[in-house]
Amino acid sequence: MAEKLYDVVGIGNAIVDIIARCDDGFLSKHDLAKGFMRLIDAEEAARLYEAMGPASERSGGSVANSIAGLASFGAKCGFIGRVAADQFGGIFRHDIRSLGVAYDTPPAPDGAPTARCLILVTPDGERTMNTFLGASVDFTPEDVDSGLIEAARIVYLEGYLFDRDHAKAAFREAARLAKRAGAKVALSLSDAFCVDRHRADFLTLVKEGADIVFANEKEITTLYQVNSFEEAADRALADCELAVLTRSETGSVIVTEGETLVVPAERLSEVVDVTGAGDLYAAGFLYGLTQGAPLSTCGRIGSLAAAEVVSHIGARPETSLRKLAAGLIP
């Protein structure tokens, strides 16, 4: 790839996570489907928060977590995403900037508060997410900082953000700018429900906008409305250059022209909180790509980063990923 100022620039929801432990009974009582993400409004967010136990707050957001991971590897990164001018917005801005990430999206001057995700972590380490998108939904094509996009080697787009029309328009604009500047466009499908809600638009984006697609098994089979993983993988290969498909503890499958690689997951002694596992897998994979590592190594770096993040509460790394992956990076 050409010499550019940023290895990866991400576009996604700018969210603060509110994380509390709960038991399975709490999920049933509040009709929450374990392991999924659902969108909630301000009223439901207030109601659920009141019912939750004591929590801790920290920055989140799927692609923002990936960008934090990439920064921890030592990559040069930028992020684009909307917060409000409130205390949670201050947390988000501080945390991402403190990693050396370029983040200059102006806070929304009025309207909804900064997005938050109420994350319930059950004793099995599974997370159930309830997202109030708040100021994140105000994301429009005007927020797409063309200077940042043009300075990126890879532009990474978050499927979760793809839930509103003006955000979709912003994605198309970002993809267009990226292609024109010779950047690769990577897309995370993020969530099977979101894919299901916006299948046609996702298909168009995968076919026309994205070079690299990240998805888990459920998301990719939902996108193509097929029953088998293998069939979905074939379809993905026909639509894009590189599909990186994660299968939880089974590991990941990397599909590209003429090659299908299976990468085992890291063995874990304990899973404390799976929040951010996919985001950090993507971080490691993309970091490998920017370093010119072979695809199998990219997958192994991804697995390593995912293993770090599930070993503690919270969706961002707590140790230097650069040190952790030292042996794998060329």
Summarize as ranges the residues that interact with a copy of itself (CB under 8 A).
21, 49-50, 52-59, 68, 86-88, 91, 94-96, 98-99, 113, 314, 316, 318
CB of 98 to a copy of itself, least distance (A): 5
C-alpha to C-alpha distance for 299 and 271, rounded to whole angstroms = 20
Beta strand 242-246 with 252-256: parallel, antiparallel or unpaired? antiparallel
Strands across the sheet containing 6-11: 102-103, 77-80, 6-11, 152-158, 184-188, 212-216, 242-246, 252-256, 259-263
Nearer to a copy of itself, 28 or 98 (CB): 98
CB of 93 to a copy of itself, least distance (A): 10
Nearer to a copy of itself, 99 or 189 (CB): 99
C-alpha to C-alpha distance for 19 and 49, rounded to whole angstroms = 10
> 137 to each of 46, 143, 163, 182, 314, how far by Cα in Å?
18, 11, 8, 28, 23
Nearer to a copy of itself, 13 or 114 (CB): 114
Query: Encoding tokens for residue 138?
Result: 């105000």
Residue 194 C-alpha from the chain's centroid: 13
Nearer to a copy of itself, 299 or 314 (CB): 314
C-alpha to C-alpha distance for 150 and 144, rounded to whole angstroms = 11
Nearer to a copy of itself, 87 or 225 (CB): 87
Nearer to a copy of itself, 88 or 287 (CB): 88
Contact indicator for 154, 62 with CB cutoff of 8 Å: no
CB of 95 to a copy of itself, least distance (A): 4
Nearer to a copy of itself, 59 or 252 (CB): 59
CB of 88 to a copy of itself, least distance (A): 5
Contact indicator for 92, 14 with CB cutoff of 8 Å: yes
CB of 56 to a copy of itself, least distance (A): 4
Nearer to a copy of itself, 90 or 141 (CB): 90
CB of 265 to a copy of itself, least distance (A): 26
CB of 1 to a copy of itself, least distance (A): 28
Q: Count CB-CB contacts under 10 A for residue 50.
A: 7
CB of 33 to a copy of itself, least distance (A): 23
Contact indicator for 135, 83 with CB cutoff of 8 Å: yes
In 81-159 the beta strands, taken as DSSP E runs, fall at 102-103, 115-121, 127-132, 152-158
Query: Encoding tokens for residue 101?
Result: 């990430």
C-alpha torsion angle, residues 267, 270, 273, 274 (rounded to 10): 20
